[in-house]
């Protein structure tokens, strides 16, 4: 069995889906018909810690959301593809722009459209409440569900295995 430390040592980039991973997967519409989403602050902390360690982070989603645009900007995430009709193509283009290979990438997804990427990267992860197919494609399944800190859990596991999780004695990355 390969240890977390062995896996963590080669991961330089995390790519993620949004609905069902960074959010709870539910679609919310306000009284004007505008879509809203909720994001967990712990995911944000983890993403900032990951990027502050000099590692790459990207988002690929089949939907478009102004809420996601805002959250990505707040966190300083530069690599975001919305309205992706082919997640593997989007992932390939993103990896090229980040100068990483699939052997250095972790992807976290929760449903069938994510599996094409999950099957081609070094580490595939899924939230606890992911679809059966996504969980079967995953190497790691988080204890937490999507939208409830699953991305933070993944990041913290990778960074702790690589001894790069921020010390509580240091200032936080956010």
The SS3 of residue 45 is: helix
Is 129 one of the annotated binding-site residues? no
Is 86 one of the annotated binding-site residues? no
Classify residue 33 by its DSSP letter.
Answer: S
Is 6 one of the annotated binding-site residues? no
Q: Report the C-alpha gap between 157 and 120 in whole angstroms.
A: 21
Q: Report the C-alpha gap between 47 and 26 in whole angstroms.
A: 22
Rounded to 5, what percent of the chain is helix, strand, coil?
40, 15, 45
Binding-site positions for substrate read 19
Binding-site positions for Mg(2+) read 17, 110
Binding-site positions read 17, 19, 110
């Amino acid at each position: 069995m390969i240890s977390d430390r062995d896996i963590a040592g080669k991961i330089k980039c995390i790519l993620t889906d949004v609905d069902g991973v960074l959010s709870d997967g539910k679609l919310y519409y306000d009284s004007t018909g505008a879509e809203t989403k909720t994001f967990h602050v712990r995911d944000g902390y983890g993403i900032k810690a990951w990027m502050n360690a000099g590692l790459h982070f990207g988002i690929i989603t089949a939907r478009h959301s102004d809420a996601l645009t805002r959250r990505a900007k707040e966190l300083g995430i530069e690599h975001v593809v919305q309205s992706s009709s082919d997640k593997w193509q989007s992932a390939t283009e993103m990896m090229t722009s980040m100068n990483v290979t699939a052997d250095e990438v972790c992807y976290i997804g929760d449903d069938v459209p994510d599996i094409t990427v999950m099957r081609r990267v070094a580490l595939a992860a899924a939230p606890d409440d992911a679809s059966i197919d996504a969980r079967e494609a995953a190497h790691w399944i988080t204890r937490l569900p999507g939208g409830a800190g699953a991305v933070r859990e993944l990041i913290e596991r990778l960074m702790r295995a690589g001894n790069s999780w921020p010390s509580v004695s240091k200032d936080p990355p956010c």
